[in-house]
Structure 1
Amino acid sequence: MSALLEIVSAGAMASIQDLGRPGLRRLGVPRAGALEPGWLRLANALLGNAQDAPAIEFLAGGLSVRALASPVHLAFSGHFSAEVVGAGEPRRVDSWRSLMLAPGETLRCGMPVQCRVGYLALAGIRVPRVLGSASTYARAGLGGLDGRLLAAGARLSVVAYSGGERILRTLRTLPPVEAAPIRVVLGPQDDYFDAPSIEHFLSAAYQVSPAADRMGMRLDGPLLRHRPDKGAEITSDATVPGSIQVPGQGLPIVLLADGQTAGGYPKIATVISADLPRLAVMAPGQRVRFTAISVAAAELAARVREAALRAMIADIGPLAEPGGVDLQAIYVANLVSGVVDARAVDGAVAPIDISLREE
């Protein structure tokens, strides 16, 4: 059975994203896709969707959606809470869970805490794919709903709710996104910078600038000086998400999911794939520190992150509301241990055989 979800308010830069469109950078097409692909995968897993299914990504707060004629099954991931508004009293719901939104009810997503990004996944969402992906790349009008950011009044086709709310049972409060240094591999143009600049880059604290979107993130902090004999520009060459360009004014810019495919500024380092999502979701004003590692260590970090994400997905289970009955706990508990056998001396506890027998 189909259903419709209406965008009441799109908030800041809400868009349809999936895991992106890889393999097209040689043609000048960025990958796009979720800034935090792990959170998108978790939100989809909470619904039983394919992990690469499209979902709504929103930056900051303000996203509100309403179920129309049929109940809608949705899930959200990210450090934020939400409020369901309907005929009765508004009720608050935390993230990292799925939820039924009844016809006429509105879900209002709050401002993310510790970060700037949240995800809202929808069961059975149907969005046309362009070049193999539903991800919105608004600068070129690709993907999403006609290649544009979401706006009030837009409607998304989904399947109606069929039961089964679930929750991420462990790590619901994930570690702060700025808890550890962001790991980088130096280069490919680190030789364009003098030794003190490399030292500053790897030891000083930077702050995320308000000039941060899906394309890139400017950082405020110590200026990085280019070597006079090299200059502040290169012959344009390839860039990737995670490339840290340093233009002539000396402040680094980290390219993100929608970043251009080539550029003419020297790249002092590249953020490893395991840490780029954590950096990409940081909010303006948060502090960033960098540390250099080897390519081999970066590859290991990617495998460790993937294993941790799969473990979290495996730990998704049925939701038990506060004060409600946790059926999963009942299923796994030994409810008959310690019963008293009236035939035992002095009322001692004795085991009782409750196995099923054929009569």
Structure 2
Amino acid sequence: MIEILTTGAANSVQDVGRLGYLDAGVSRSGAMDGPALELANRMVGNDPGAAAIEVAIFPFRLRFERAALVAVTGADVQMTVNGVCYPSWWALPVRSGDVLELGLPRRGARAYLSIAGGILVQTVLGSASTDLKSRWGGLEGRGLRRGDRLETGFGPAALADLPSGFGLDPQELGRAAGDVDEDAPIRVLPGAEYEFFNEAAVAALEAAAWQVTEDANRQGYRLSGPELKLMQRLELHSHGIMPGTVQVPPSGQPIIQLAEANTCGGYPKIAHVIEADLWRLGQAAVGSRLRFTQVSRKDAVAALRAQRSMIDRAAASAALARKDAAKSELLDALRCTEN
């Protein structure tokens, strides 16, 4: 059992999502940074899709009511346990009564806290994910509140062998500490109405630095930049859309659909973010700037395979680390104390 001490309404229980129901009008939901959630689970010995906590509002604090093995991934946050500081992408044992806090991200926007055994909540349509828009799943279909208590399972990891914990290097995972870098454009495929946009719009899609506006949440991000114009007016029926779809409303300012996006819409689609780069949108904070670059379908498939291979290698390393005695000297080099 854990007790939430400090939180925000955007923090919620998430897993890999509610898959297979888009045709029924049910959003996918799930973690905005899927690879980070999966790796947090793999670090503590859970199934890849176990329920964890997605933290988007900081600081976030909770108290453990029994010993557990925990891991924090995603954004580059300072994790403290009883005031002792640990790096991000770290797994460690905690004891009954310990208080864990996640501070403001140095880079990135969302952190994932996984607990061995998972978060135990009632599933809806096969998923524990919270759909904040539809108000179902997770804990009563809402974000976490101060005083909430969540039941956790008992994990398989041997806590006695991990006195200090272990970590993964985000740089080796192809991440700049969970950040989205303008110099590394987000890869996209042409959308269904791509050919109906004028030359200036097509050029601006890749040339501009698009700012994530304050109108940003788990449903989608509104971007600010050059106006994207069509060559002619289009009358479209509402049609199916997916997370990563880049739509352009009459304002000419694009909207990227994300985890809790509507399942259909009628705005023209200029592009689709490839699946391997969706996590980067999840780590894009309000005010950050994004760039796009068009790739081929072959490139998109290759990127997804490379990401899968990276996750499997990192998971294998975490499994080995859980079997080894922790190296205190490594922890001492990374540990800090709060000012």
The normalised TM-score by structure 1 is: 0.83
Query: 1:187 & 1:324 partners in 2: Cα distance?
Result: 47
Aligned to 1:346: none
Label 1:325 to 1:244 Cα distance change in 2 as closer, same or farther (>3 A): closer
The SS at the match of 2:141 is: coil
- Tell me, yes or no, if structure 1 residue 130 matches structure 2 residue 124: yes
Query: 1:122 & 1:48 partners in 2: Cα distance?
Result: 9
Of 217, 222, 227, 1:218 maps to 222
The SS at the match of 2:256 is: strand
Of 8, 22, 25, 1:25 maps to 22
- Tell me, yes or no, if structure 1 residue 242 matches structure 2 residue 239: no
Aligned to 1:52: 49
Amino acid at match of 1:121: S
- Tell me, yes or no, if structure 1 residue 321 matches structure 2 residue 328: yes
Q: Which runs of 5+ in 1 are unaligned?
A: 327-359
- Tell me, yes or no, if structure 1 residue 189 matches structure 2 residue 188: no
Note the C-alpha offset of 1:169.
4.1
Amino acid at match of 2:216: A
Of 2, 8, 11, 2:8 maps to 11
Label 1:321 to 1:177 Cα distance change in 2 as closer, same or farther (>3 A): farther
Of 204, 221, 227, 1:200 maps to 204
The answer on whether the counterparts of 1:188 and 1:268 sit within 8 Å (CA) in structure 2 is yes
Query: 1:302 & 1:212 partners in 2: Cα distance?
Result: 25
Percent of aligned pairs with the same amino acid: 36
Aligned to 1:269: 271
Note the C-alpha offset of 1:172.
5.9
Label 1:195 to 1:24 Cα distance change in 2 as closer, same or farther (>3 A): same
Query: 2:107 & 2:332 partners in 1: Cα distance?
Result: 32
The answer on whether the counterparts of 2:194 and 2:271 sit within 8 Å (CA) in structure 1 is yes
Note the C-alpha offset of 1:323.
6.4
C-alpha distance after superposition, 1:200-249 (max 9, x if no partner): 1111111111221111011111111122x324x52111100000011111
The SS at the match of 2:7 is: strand
The SS at the match of 1:76 is: strand
Aligned to 1:116: 109
Query: 2:147 & 2:108 partners in 1: Cα distance?
Result: 27
Label 1:323 to 1:23 Cα distance change in 2 as closer, same or farther (>3 A): closer
- Tell me, yes or no, if structure 1 residue 97 matches structure 2 residue 90: yes
The SS at the match of 2:276 is: coil
Alignment of 1:292-311 (within 5 A): 292-311=294-313
Note the C-alpha offset of 1:325.
9.9
- Tell me, yes or no, if structure 1 residue 84 matches structure 2 residue 81: yes
Query: 1:83 & 1:65 partners in 2: Cα distance?
Result: 11
Runs of 4+ in structure 1 deviating by more than 6 angstroms, as ranges, are: 323-326
The answer on whether the counterparts of 2:68 and 2:116 sit within 8 Å (CA) in structure 1 is yes
The answer on whether the counterparts of 2:61 and 2:102 sit within 8 Å (CA) in structure 1 is yes
Note the C-alpha offset of 1:302.
0.9
Query: 1:138 & 1:32 partners in 2: Cα distance?
Result: 9
The answer on whether the counterparts of 1:193 and 1:268 sit within 8 Å (CA) in structure 2 is yes
Of 268, 282, 285, 1:283 maps to 285
Q: Relative contact order, CA 8 A, sep 6+: which one is greater?
A: 2
Aligned to 2:233: 230
Query: 1:198 & 1:11 partners in 2: Cα distance?
Result: 39
Query: 1:274 & 1:194 partners in 2: Cα distance?
Result: 28
Query: 1:238 & 1:275 partners in 2: Cα distance?
Result: 20
Aligned to 1:340: none
Note the C-alpha offset of 1:190.
1.2
The answer on whether the counterparts of 1:60 and 1:112 sit within 8 Å (CA) in structure 2 is no
The SS at the match of 1:52 is: coil
Query: 2:289 & 2:133 partners in 1: Cα distance?
Result: 29
Query: 2:213 & 2:133 partners in 1: Cα distance?
Result: 21
Query: 2:168 & 2:56 partners in 1: Cα distance?
Result: 25
The answer on whether the counterparts of 1:170 and 1:315 sit within 8 Å (CA) in structure 2 is no
The SS at the match of 1:74 is: strand
- Tell me, yes or no, if structure 1 residue 107 matches structure 2 residue 100: yes
The answer on whether the counterparts of 1:216 and 1:254 sit within 8 Å (CA) in structure 2 is yes
Note the C-alpha offset of 1:280.
2.1
Q: Which runs of 5+ in 2 are unaligned?
A: 334-339
The answer on whether the counterparts of 1:72 and 1:159 sit within 8 Å (CA) in structure 2 is no
Note the C-alpha offset of 1:113.
2.3
The SS at the match of 1:38 is: helix
How many residues in Structure 1 have an aligned counterpart in Structure 2? 316
Amino acid at match of 1:127: V
Amino acid at match of 1:10: T
